[in-house]
Amino acid sequence: MDFELSGSERAFRDEVRAWLKANAPSDRDGDGDLKAFIDRRREWQRKLHEAGYVGITWPKEFGGRGGSFMDQLIFNDEMILAHAPEPINVIGLGMGGPVVIAHGTQEQKKRYLPPLLSAQEIWCQGFSEPNAGSDLSGLQTRAEDQGDHYLVNGQKVWTTLAHVAKWCMLVARERKEANPREGLTYLLVDMESPGVEVRPLVQITGDAEFNEIFFKDVKVSKSQILGEPGNGWAVAMTTLLHERGTLGLALATRAQITASELAEHARKLGRGSDPLVRQKIAQHTIEARALQLNGYRAVTAVKRSGIPGPEGSILKLMWSELNQRMTETAMDIAGPASQVKDGDGWKYQFLRSRANTIEAGTSEVLRNILAERVLGLPRSR
């Protein structure tokens, strides 16, 4: 067991620290309107990428840094310290890129990865449907084989970034099979294709960060299949493993940021001497740290065994529930001021966090995964 950084790791940390100090923007989520916010984050990612800090573990030949998981961890930690915001392409970086690296052809990797890294092309995820939420295999969007292309018809929902995305990771049904997990095909759909319509879905924050996507006779070339036709379930599972694992580490970083902002919030409002507030914030900080350390242990396990396990579900489950508690504490501390205007900067987070336990696997689904795949309990379905 060793948490000391090596000479080269220390050098990388110092370099990142200096760069972030000079370059990190200071705006917060929820500041200003959504479009301006997205433009700022896109520009931020472009800048990060130019400096070589996006896709740290991705292969160099596709625009990544070719670095280690350790470099990624160091970078994450420095992002916390600098209170730096995330890059815009969260879905692409957390899921899209890793799934292309895992299942894509050489041509696909060359085509999709570089513009994903530079935020030139933003990605979104077309999995959930009105009648297929936690039970993904019940999806109804169809992909009809037309020889050299597919014709896609159907509807997806809760799609983050769909209104600005170039690519959608779409799971559609090609054939009906007795086992609903068979006959699915995983397609990368160009969101600029004729027949794609994106309608914003106004959520409880008042923003329209999510969308519905309607596909009407959308032509998708067969060069845009990821993995084998009919074998989309396996590709989708890789996507979700990355969503909850790799993304889990980013979430651990985010929890640390939120915990430190919460402490700052309490200090600013002069509530830091209240013993109950001290207890709560300390507990949140401890849980955020435990979450991060769980991530470190998962990384060590991946390094030793080579595969991310379902333990990633622990990270997502912990983060989503912790994040809700943290925003609740922030609102409590602010008292009635939490209700008006931007609620001292926390109103948006307070509302937004309610989705955390639903998106990317509900807490109920994640507990099922832990119970069944980690503890080996019998399947409930």
Rounded to the nearest whole angstrom, what is the least distance from the CB of residue 143 to other proteins in the complex?
33
Cα 80 to Cα 73, 76, 126: the distances in Å are 11, 6, 30
Rounded to the nearest whole angstrom, what is the least distance from the CB of residue 333 to other proteins in the complex?
11
Choice between 223 and 279, CB closer to other proteins: 279
Task: State how far the Cα of 336 lies from the Cα of 256, in Å rounded to an integer.
Answer: 26
With H, G, I as helix, E, B as strand and everything else as coil, classify residue 128.
coil
The residues assigned a catalytic role are: 243
Q: Which of residues 191-230 bind other proteins (CB under 8 A)?
A: none
Distance of CA 269 to the CA centre of its chain: 32
Task: Check residue 340 for interaction with other proteins (CB under 8 A).
Answer: no
Are residues 184 and 213 in contact, defined by beta-carbon separation less than 8 angstroms?
no
Task: Check residue 290 for interaction with other proteins (CB under 8 A).
Answer: yes
Q: Which of 11, 36, 286, 340 binds other proteins (CB under 8 A)?
A: 286
Task: Check residue 330 for interaction with other proteins (CB under 8 A).
Answer: no
Choice between 156 and 316, CB closer to other proteins: 316
DSSP string, 219-249: EEEGGGB-SSTTBHHHHHHHHHHHHHTHHHH
Task: Check residue 299 for interaction with other proteins (CB under 8 A).
Answer: yes
Residue given tokens 């998962």 in the structure block:
298
Q: Which of 89, 159, 239, 294 binds other proteins (CB under 8 A)?
A: 294
Q: Which of 26, 106, 179, 380 binds other proteins (CB under 8 A)?
A: 380
Task: Check residue 78 for interaction with other proteins (CB under 8 A).
Answer: no
Q: Which of 20, 48, 73, 143 binds other proteins (CB under 8 A)?
A: 73
Task: State how far the Cα of 257 lies from the Cα of 16, in Å rounded to an integer.
Answer: 17
Task: Check residue 300 for interaction with other proteins (CB under 8 A).
Answer: yes
Task: Check residue 307 for interaction with other proteins (CB under 8 A).
Answer: no
Task: State how far the Cα of 161 lies from the Cα of 96, in Å rounded to an integer.
Answer: 13
